[in-house]
A and B are shown apart, each in its own frame.
With several copies, the nearest count.
Chain A
Amino acid sequence: MSDAFQPSLDFEAVGDAVADGEALVVDIDGYEGPLHVLLALARTQKVDLLKLSITKLAEQYLAFVQEARRRRFSLAADYLVMASWLAYLKSRLLLPRPERKTGDEPPAEEMAAALAFRLAKLEAMRRAVEGLTSRPRLKRDVFTRGDPEALVVIPSTRIEASLYELMQAYVTQRKKEGERRYKPTVPVVYPLDDARERLRGMAPRLTGWTTLDSIAPPVRGEQGPTRASYLASTLSAGLELVKEGALEARQLEHFHDLFLRSRRGFELEAEAEGA
Chain B
Amino acid sequence: MSDGIEAERMVEALLFAAAGPMSAADLASRLPEGFDVGRALAGLRARYAGRGVELECVAERWRFRTAPDLGYLMTEEREEPRRLSKAALETLAIIAYHQPVTRAEIEAVRGVSLSRGTLDVLLEMNFVRLRGRRRTPGRPVTYGTSDAFLEHFGLASLADLPGASEMKAAGLLDLSIPAGFEVPDPSGRSLDEDPLDPGDEDAPEFAMDFVGEGDG
Chain A residues positioned under 8 Å from B17 (CB to CB): 143-146, 148-150, 153
* A34 in contact with B84 (CB, 8 Å): no
Kindly state the separation between the CA atoms of A26 and B216 in the bound complex, as whole angstroms: 12
Interface residues as binary, B63-75 with A (CB distance below 8 Å gives 1, 0 otherwise): 1111110010010
* A170 in contact with B74 (CB, 8 Å): no
* A136 in contact with B111 (CB, 8 Å): no
* A128 in contact with B167 (CB, 8 Å): yes
- With both chains docked as a complex, state the minimum distance between the C-beta of B96 and any C-beta of chain A, in angstroms: 7
Kindly state the separation between the CA atoms of A128 and B89 in the bound complex, as whole angstroms: 9
* A122 in contact with B181 (CB, 8 Å): no
* B111 in contact with A33 (CB, 8 Å): yes
Q: Residues on A close to B: CB < 8 A?
A: 1-2, 4-5, 7, 10-11, 14-15, 18, 24-26, 32-36, 78, 106, 110, 113-114, 117-118, 120-122, 124-129, 131-133, 135-178, 180, 182
Kindly state the separation between the CA atoms of A24 and B216 in the bound complex, as whole angstroms: 7
* A182 in contact with B87 (CB, 8 Å): no
Chain A residues positioned under 8 Å from B67 (CB to CB): 142
Chain A residues positioned under 8 Å from B66 (CB to CB): 142-143, 149
Chain B residues positioned under 8 Å from A168 (CB to CB): 172
- Contacts A113-B178, A135-B153, A159-B152; is A146 near B77 (CB within 8 Å)? yes
* B90 in contact with A110 (CB, 8 Å): no
> Does B51 sit within 8 A of A, measured CB to CB?
no
Chain A residues positioned under 8 Å from B14 (CB to CB): 150
**Residue of A129, A136, A180, A182 touching B71 (CB-CB under 8 A):** A136
* B125 in contact with A151 (CB, 8 Å): no
| Stretch binding the partner chain, chosen from B1-9, B38-46, B102-110, B199-207 | B102-110
* B79 in contact with A140 (CB, 8 Å): yes
- With both chains docked as a complex, state the minimum distance between the C-beta of A225 and any C-beta of chain B, in angstroms: 22
- Contacts A14-B216, A139-B77, A167-B166; is A26 near B112 (CB within 8 Å)? yes
* B90 in contact with A136 (CB, 8 Å): no
* A172 in contact with B90 (CB, 8 Å): yes
Further 4 A-B residue pairs, CB within 8 A, beyond A127-B167, A136-B71 = A24-B115, A148-B19, A176-B111, A177-B109
The count of A-to-B residue pairs whose CB atoms sit within 8 angstroms is 280
Q: Is the interface of B mostly helix, strand, loop or mixed?
A: loop
A5, A106, A144, A171: which has the most chain B beta carbons within 10 Å?
A144
Kindly state the separation between the CA atoms of A127 and B89 in the bound complex, as whole angstroms: 11
* A122 in contact with B77 (CB, 8 Å): no
Chain A residues positioned under 8 Å from B179 (CB to CB): 2
Chain B residues positioned under 8 Å from A144 (CB to CB): 17, 20, 63-65
Kindly report which residue of chain A lies nearest to residue B76, judged by CB atoms. Answer: A150
> Does B57 sit within 8 A of A, measured CB to CB?
no
* B162 in contact with A167 (CB, 8 Å): yes
A-B contact pairs, 13 of them (CB 8 A): A18-B113, A36-B110, A106-B180, A114-B178, A122-B109, A129-B93, A149-B66, A151-B19, A167-B166, A168-B172, A170-B90, A170-B97, A180-B111
Kindly report which residue of chain B lies nearest to residue A76, judged by CB atoms. Answer: B112
Kindly state the separation between the CA atoms of A11 and B16 in the bound complex, as whole angstroms: 50
Interface residues as binary, B163-193 with A (CB distance below 8 Å gives 1, 0 otherwise): 1101100101101111111110000000000
Kindly state the separation between the CA atoms of A121 and B96 in the bound complex, as whole angstroms: 14
* B18 in contact with A147 (CB, 8 Å): yes
- With both chains docked as a complex, state the minimum distance between the C-beta of B201 and any C-beta of chain A, in angstroms: 20
- Contacts A127-B163, A166-B153; is A78 near B93 (CB within 8 Å)? no
- With both chains docked as a complex, state the minimum distance between the C-beta of A113 and any C-beta of chain B, in angstroms: 7
- Contacts A128-B93, A144-B63, A153-B78; is A159 near B127 (CB within 8 Å)? yes
**Residue of A5, A78, A110, A128 touching B162 (CB-CB under 8 A):** A128
Kindly state the separation between the CA atoms of A33 and B106 in the bound complex, as whole angstroms: 14
Chain B residues positioned under 8 Å from A172 (CB to CB): 90
- With both chains docked as a complex, state the minimum distance between the C-beta of A229 and any C-beta of chain B, in angstroms: 22
* B83 in contact with A177 (CB, 8 Å): no
- Contacts A150-B19, A160-B82; is A135 near B162 (CB within 8 Å)? yes
